[in-house]
C-alpha cells in the first residue's frame, strides 16, 4: 500500500529539485539539482545545489563548448554534500531528492 502523504511529498520535492536545476544549473545541456531534506517536515529543506562549477573555481572562456567542461562541472549530488559540509550540516539521516 502506498502512503499518499509520502507520495505527494516525493512529488513536491522532486518538482522543487527540477525547478531549482532549471533556474540554477549553469550547464546548458545537463541540468540537475539535489536537495537535502530534514526528516521533520517543519524544518524542511536544509541545503540545495545544482550541477555546476564548485564555489571558488573560475570558469575558463569557452569551457561549455567541448568535453573539457567535465573537468570542471561537479554533479549536483556532490555539490549539495559539499555545500552541507561547508555549512556544518550533518547529512546523516537526511533525505536527498535529485
H/E element, 21: helix 4-24
Q: What pLDDT digit, counting tens, does each position of 62-93 carry?
A: 776 777 777 778 899 999 999 999 999 999 99
Q: Are 12 and 67 in contact (CB under 8 A)?
A: no
Q: Which residues pair with residue 33 across a beta bridge?
A: 50
Task: State which residues form the domain around 43.
Answer: 4-97
Q: What are phi and psi of 7, to 5 degrees?
A: -60, -45
Which CATH number fits the domain that encloses residue 69?
3.40.140.10
d(CA 89, CA 80): 11
Q: What pLDDT digit, counting tens, does each position of 21-63 carry?
A: 999 988 778 899 999 999 887 888 999 999 988 776 777 777 7
pTM greater than 0.85? no
Q: What are phi and psi of 74, to 5 degrees?
A: -105, 145
d(CA 56, CA 11): 33
Question: How many folded domains does the chain comprise?
Answer: 1
Amino acid at each position: 500500500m502506498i502512503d499518499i502523504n509520502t507520495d505527494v511529498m516525493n512529488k513536491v520535492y522532486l518538482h522543487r529539485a527540477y525547478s531549482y536545476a532549471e533556474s540554477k544549473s549553469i550547464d546548458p545541456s545537463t541540468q540537475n539539482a539535489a536537495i537535502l531534506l530534514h526528516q521533520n517536515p517543519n524544518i524542511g529543506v536544509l541545503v540545495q545545489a545544482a550541477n555546476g562549477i564548485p564555489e571558488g573555481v573560475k570558469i575558463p572562456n569557452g569551457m561549455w563548448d567541448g568535453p573539457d567542461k567535465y573537468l570542471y562541472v561537479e554533479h549536483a549530488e556532490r555539490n549539495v554534500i559539499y555545500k552541507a559540509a561547508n555549512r556544518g550540516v550533518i547529512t546523516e539521516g537526511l533525505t536527498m531528492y535529485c
